[in-house]
Structure 1
Amino acid sequence: MNFAQLLFPDFSLILIGYLLCRFTALNRKVWEPTESLVYYFLFPVLLFQAIVKTPLEVGTASSLMGAGLTLGVSGILLSYSLPYWPWIGRQIDPRMHAASAQVGFRFNSFIALALASKVAGPQGLQFIAVLIGVCVPLFNVGAVWPMARHAKKHFGGELLRNPLILATLSGLVANLMGMHIPFWLEPTVTRIGQASLALGLMAAGAGMQFASLRSAKTLGIAVLTVKHVGLPILALGIAMLFRLDPTQSTVLLMFSAVPTASSCYVLAARMGYDGPYVAGLVTLSTLLGIASLPFALGVLAAIR
Structure 2
Amino acid sequence: MCPSNLVRIVWRNTHKGKPGWIAVILRPVIYAQLLLPDFSLILCGYLLCRHTPLNRSVWSQVESLVYYFLFPVLLFQSIVKTPLDLGATSSLIGAGLTLGLASIALAYSLPYLPGLRQHIDLREHAASAQVAFRFNSFIGLALAERLAGSQGLQLIAVLIGVCVPLFNVAAVWPMARHAGRGFLRELVRNPLIVATASGLAANLLGFSLPDWSVPTLSRIGASSIVLGLMAAGAGMQFGHLSQAKTLAVAVLSIRHFLLPLMALGLTRAFGLSAVQSTVLMAFSALPTASSAYVLAARMGYNGGYVAGLVTLSTLLGVVSLPFALGLLRW
TM-score, normalised with respect to structure 2: 0.83
Q: Detail structure 1 runs of 4+ shifted over 6 Å in the superposition.
A: none
Stretches of structure 2 that go unaligned for 5 or more consecutive residues are 1-6, 8-29
Q: Which residue number corresponds to residue 144 of structure 2?
A: 116
- Structure 1: which amino acid aligns with 2:246? T
Mapped contact 1:207–1:276 kept (Cα < 8 A): no
Give a deviation string over 1:227-285, Cα, whole Å, max 9, x none. 11111111122222223233322222221112222222322232222223222222322
Q: Which residue number corresponds to residue 227 of structure 1?
A: 255
Mapped contact 2:34–2:146 kept (Cα < 8 A): no
Give a deviation string over 1:59-115, Cα, whole Å, max 9, x none. 222122111111110011111111122222321222222222111111222222223
Distance 1:119 1:294 in 2: 12
Residues matched between the structures, number: 302
Distance 1:22 1:125 in 2: 33
- Structure 2: which amino acid aligns with 1:126? Q
- Structure 2: which amino acid aligns with 1:73? L
Q: Which is higher, the Rg of structure 1 or of structure 2?
A: 2
Mapped contact 1:250–1:301 kept (Cα < 8 A): no
Distance 1:25 1:183 in 2: 40
Q: Which residue number corresponds to residue 44 of structure 1?
A: 72
Listed as ranges, the matches of 1:1-304 within 5 Å are 1=7, 2-120=30-148, 122-302=150-330
**Percent identity of the aligned residues?**
70
- Structure 2: which amino acid aligns with 1:268? A
**Structure 1 pair 20–277 and aligned structure 2 pair: CA distance change class (3 A):** farther
Give a deviation string over 1:115-137, Cα, whole Å, max 9, x none. 32443455333322221111111
**Structure 1 pair 16–96 and aligned structure 2 pair: CA distance change class (3 A):** farther
- Structure 1: which amino acid aligns with 2:198? S
The alpha carbon displacement at 1:158 in A equals: 0.5
Stretches of structure 1 that go unaligned for 5 or more consecutive residues are none
| SS of corresponding position for 2:88 | coil
Higher relative contact order (CA 8 A, sep 6+): 1
- Structure 1: which amino acid aligns with 2:153? L
- Structure 2: which amino acid aligns with 1:195? S
Mapped contact 1:56–1:129 kept (Cα < 8 A): no
Mapped contact 1:69–1:135 kept (Cα < 8 A): yes
The alpha carbon displacement at 1:24 in A equals: 4.1
| SS of corresponding position for 2:239 | helix
219-228 or 109-118: bigger deviation: 109-118
Distance 2:45 2:148 in 1: 32
Distance 2:222 2:297 in 1: 22
Distance 1:23 1:120 in 2: 36
- Structure 2: which amino acid aligns with 1:183? D
State the superposition RMSD in angstroms.
Answer: 2.2
**Structure 1 pair 88–255 and aligned structure 2 pair: CA distance change class (3 A):** same
- Structure 1: which amino acid aligns with 2:34? L
TM-score, normalised with respect to structure 1: 0.89
264-273 or 42-51: bigger deviation: 264-273
**Structure 1 pair 208–283 and aligned structure 2 pair: CA distance change class (3 A):** closer
169-178 or 228-237: bigger deviation: 169-178
Distance 2:303 2:266 in 1: 33
Distance 1:37 1:64 in 2: 31
The alpha carbon displacement at 1:294 in A equals: 2.2
- Structure 1: which amino acid aligns with 2:304? P
